[in-house]
Structure 1
């Protein structure tokens, strides 16, 4: 019994710290994906769509400009396969829900046509990521 109590007292804080690191890593991946979407939309002058699920982020890009939908997978930063990032264990929630449309002018809107700028908040564990609609800034 004493051995179990000692192990619990020593191991539990380390286990909590490991879970915190996983949450921080997932948050950093989401921020990186959203910043990549913003930079790509502006530099390629095309609509980029970001779908933030509870455990993944997927980026797609429009084939031409102007466009109101994204139809092609956006390659990752290495130029390889489609940009998709996911985690196991830590979940994200987007408010308000829906696709983030990164416009060629840098704005983030609630629709592909770009008529309404939309601030978004993504919660991961106890931290949140804010996407400013008018500027596309991710913080």
Structure 2
């Protein structure tokens, strides 16, 4: 009895390796910013959802402070409050602050980076003027993040 692989098995393995190398290797060799941007996008979505859930759960105002490349979260020390004055801890207990040069945050109403989003205890999200805010965050060639101020939904 002979041991070994048949020609069909060898060709099948070579075809599978060819497909993997044609798809995976270019993605791995491309700039790492795509993976970093995708990770940062998910981090921003998680942070905004955390801010909204924290505001409702703690019945306090939570603020998401933006620059064009950073996001930080703070919470009001008491309720009612007009401003956030305490750092909001992330789920792992550390202060939430994240940044990536590949992110651009723009408010759809103004076209500018928002100074802050205010997550109200009732679940709504407002801008500096107290009007429910609709915000789109664009991240380097990836899908946008949309924040609906009326419903508090982060997509």
> Normalized against structure 1, the TM-score is what?
0.80
C-alpha distance in 1, partners of 2:28/2:76?
Answer: 45
Give the 5 Å matches for 1:110-125: 110-111=127-128, 115-125=130-140
Deviation at 1:66, TM superposition (A): 1.0
C-alpha distance in 2, partners of 1:39/1:59?
Answer: 12
Establish whether residue 94 from structure 1 lines up as the match of residue 106 from structure 2. yes
Establish whether residue 104 from structure 1 lines up as the match of residue 104 from structure 2. no
> Does the C-alpha gap of structure 1 residues 72 and 13 become closer, same or farther in structure 2, counting only changes over 3 Å?
closer
Deviation at 1:13, TM superposition (A): 5.6
Larger Rg: 2
Deviation at 1:99, TM superposition (A): 0.5
Partner of 2:48: 34
Q: Does the Cα contact within 8 Å between 2:67 and 2:115 map onto a contact in 1?
A: no
* Aligned-residue CA RMSD (Å): 1.9
Q: Count residues with an aligned counterpart.
A: 125
Any gaps of 5 or more consecutive residues in structure 2? 1-24
Partner of 1:82: 95
Note the alpha carbon deviations across 1:2-36, whole angstroms, 9 max, x for none: xxxxxxxxx87644363211111110011011010
Q: Does the Cα contact within 8 Å between 1:52 and 1:94 map onto a contact in 2?
A: no
Establish whether residue 73 from structure 1 lines up as the match of residue 117 from structure 2. no
> Normalized against structure 2, the TM-score is what?
0.73
Moved more, 92-101 or 14-23: 14-23
C-alpha distance in 1, partners of 2:27/2:60?
Answer: 47
Establish whether residue 56 from structure 1 lines up as the match of residue 70 from structure 2. yes
Establish whether residue 18 from structure 1 lines up as the match of residue 15 from structure 2. no
